[in-house]
Amino acid sequence: MKLADLALPPPLVALGEKARRCFPPARGSHGWDHTLRVARLCQRIGSIEGADPEVLLAAALLHDIGRERQDGNAGAVCHAEAGADMAQPLLAASPFRNGRLDNILHCIRAHRFRRGPAPATIEARVLFDADKIDAIGAVGVARAYLFAGEVGARLHAGDEELAESAPYSESDTGYREFRVKLRHIRERMLTAEGRRLAEERHRFMEQFFRQFILEIDALR
């Protein structure tokens, strides 16, 4: 997918190009292609939920621009807070002002699963759901293992090690991500369309990990 595939108005295309330059080429699990998929999901969910499409798409394009700061500090920096700070100068030349600008920044700050303010606007709720939907299903499983490879994790650590495992460690496996976060995403959806999309992806993901554990156990 390319930015042009989103059929955005010129101001959002310009904003998207600025956002794209914030992504390093090395990280793939939270790279620019993830942002484009989230933006597409926002278009789909937002049109059904009645969100402001321009505010929503601006927030989607910018939501992960602080990711490099978080990954470069082993999770010590919150990429949502960093991203909101980074977004302000990028939005200076945009047509967004006052409440709409504040809403974009709120959407960015509120999109994380594990921390941050609760999404308080329909745009923030749609972005939250879209970002989480891209973390489950076939794409979500692939991203979980891609991230595990990026931080040097092994293939599997086992349930018995989950209590003592830590993010950004060799035990931060794709299966750990499933147990700690991904299996709970379906329950956290904030929009009706988000819940519908998450349900289908959740079923596939559970089936994958059941098969994964069966094959891992056969090697013991």
Residue 160 has pLDDT above 70, yes or no: no
CA pair distance 77, 121, nearest whole angstrom: 25
| pLDDT for residue 101 | 97
Residue 220 has pLDDT above 60, yes or no: no
12 burial type by CB count under 10 A (0-12 exposed, 13-18 middle, 19+ buried): buried
Residue pair 55/88 in contact by the 8 Å Cβ criterion: no
- Total length of the chain: 220
Reduced to 3 states (helix: H, G, I; strand: E, B; else coil), residue 90 is helix
For the chain, report the end-to-end CA distance as a whole number of angstroms: 41
| pLDDT for residue 130 | 98
Tokens of 179: 């147990």
Residue 219 has pLDDT above 90, yes or no: no
CATH numbers and ranges of domains, the chain: 1-120 (1.10.3210.10), 135-220 (1.20.58.1910)
CA pair distance 145, 157, nearest whole angstrom: 13
105-146 tens-digit pLDDT? 999 999 998 777 999 999 999 999 999 999 999 999 999 999
